[in-house]
Amino acid sequence: MAEDSIFGAMTTSAYGMRAQGERTRVISENIANANTAANTPDSEPYNRKIITFKNEMDRQQGQRLVKVDDIRDDKEKDFPLKYMPDHPGANAEGYVKMPNVNSLIELTDMREAQRSYEANLGMMEQSRTMAQRTIDMLR
């Protein structure tokens, strides 16, 4: 029973690390495209991506695991306009649609994802240490 708990904790941590890694990838994409303006007056610039997670029951292991539920465009925030009359994407008034990415929010989300990843990694290391000590005691 204790062995199942240790490896179950490692599995849970591994799924958490995978989810936070995917979250980091999406945030990195948002940051990389934060200044990607629309190419033409009628086109849209890069649209911020949002990732959501879900708990999913793994019947084989008998535990709930976190998985990526969806990665979708952020439709709630409007595209800000920036005055750049020489840009090919400028409208008649000289304004260009810019991405709805706030770099400060993205960096804050990145830091949170990093800390969550590190917490899962710490739990993985603790579980590995406990398993190793159990094996050492059985020798």
Q: Structural domain boundaries of the chain?
A: 2-138
- Taking only the tens place, the pLDDT of each residue in 43-92 is 999 999 999 999 998 877 778 899 999 999 999 999 999 999 999 999 99
- Taking only the tens place, the pLDDT of each residue in 36-55 is 999 999 999 999 999 999 99
Residue 60 buriedness (CB in 10 A; 0-12 / 13-18 / 19+): exposed
* Buried-exposed string 7-41: b where 16+ CB fall within 10 A, e elsewhere: ebbbbbbbbbbbbbebbbebbebbeeebeebbeee
- In whole angstroms, what is the distance from residue 113 CA to residue 30 CA? 14
pLDDT at 61: 73
Position 1 pLDDT exceeds 80: no
Its pTM stands at 0.84
pLDDT at 2: 42
Position 3 pLDDT exceeds 80: no
pLDDT at 34: 96
What is the overall mean pLDDT for the chain? 92
pLDDT at 4: 63
The more confidently predicted of residues 30 and 127 is 30
Mean pLDDT of 112-136: 92
